[in-house]
């Protein structure tokens, strides 16, 4: 695969800060953001895509009678951009099993916790309520289980005594924006694969918790 030859399609629902990070780093890591698909027509991320000259498609889930029909329309929109890699970036819909099977082994998701801890929503609140000493971000391949696919990479921070949900969110966002483009680049350049036995980077099987990457300065 030559530089910038991997077509990346990003799925969003809202602000799109991770979309912006992927756009900003696209010339560095061997992928190009070929399209953005969104289920929310008022999402600010659509403006980010427009500013970057990236085509978009809107598939509103409320316009469909069931998940199967929505997934079919979503697949059609995504496939219109000829994806080689799909990245979920704040996409607030659970993908159906048929969708996941269609693009098995090339869907990434980013989750604001140190998986397998705190799957699902409101992770910053739950970290504080649990008294956790560490928090962070995980990137994983998507499977049929919510936030349960094989972990590729994690990055962590220490929880400070004065942290709030808002301050944790800001600090974890810094981790996300540094790590997601990097992992997408691993896939785009052929270094990262999901095999029968697990996740492989440069031909070596990763531990079940993925590879640990240092937090960026200031996180």
Distances (CA, A) of 5 to 10, 33, 48, 102, 217: 16, 10, 22, 21, 30
Count of CB atoms situated within 10 Å of the CB of 120: 10
33 membership: H or E segment, kind and range: strand 31-38
Q: Which of 29, 103, 111, 135 is catalytic?
A: 111
Return the CA Rg of the chain.
17
Distances (CA, A) of 105 to 145, 163, 202: 14, 36, 16
> Could you give the CA distance from residue 171 to residue 73 in angstroms, rounded to a whole number?
35
Our answer to whether residue 111 is catalytic in this structure is yes
Count of CB atoms situated within 10 Å of the CB of 1: 12
Which residue, 19, 17, 18, 22, is CA-closest to 4?
22
Q: What is the DSSP string of 49-118?
A: HHHTT--EEE--GGGSSSHHHHHHHHHHHHHTT--SEEEESS--SPPPHHHHHHTTT-EEEEESSSTTSS
Q: Which residues are catalytic?
A: 111
């Amino acid at each position: 695969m030559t530089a910038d030859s991997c077509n990346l399609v990003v799925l969003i629902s809202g602000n799109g800060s991770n979309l912006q990070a992927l756009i900003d780093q696209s010339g560095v890591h061997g992928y190009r953001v070929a399209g953005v698909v969104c289920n929310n027509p008022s999402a600010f991320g659509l403006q980010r895509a427009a500013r970057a000259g990236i085509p978009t498609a809107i598939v509103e889930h409320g316009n469909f009678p069931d998940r199967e029909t929505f997934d079919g329309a979503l697949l059609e929109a995504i496939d219109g951009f000829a994806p080689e890699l799909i990245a979920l970036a704040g996409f607030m819909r659970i993908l159906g099993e048929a969708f996941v099977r269609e693009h098995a082994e090339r869907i990434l998701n980013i989750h604001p916790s140190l998986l397998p801890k705190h799957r699902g929503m409101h992770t910053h609140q739950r970290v504080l309520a649990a008294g956790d000493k560490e928090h962070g971000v995980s990137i994983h391949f998507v499977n049929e289980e919510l936030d349960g696919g094989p972990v590729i990479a994690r990055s962590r921070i220490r929880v400070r005594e004065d942290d709030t949900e808002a301050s944790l969110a800001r600090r974890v966002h810094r981790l996300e924006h540094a790590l997601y483009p990097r992992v997408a680049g691993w896939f785009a350049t052929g270094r990262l694969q999901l095999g029968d036995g697990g996740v492989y980077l440069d031909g070596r099987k990763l531990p079940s918790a993925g590879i640990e990457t240092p937090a960026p300065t200031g996180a």
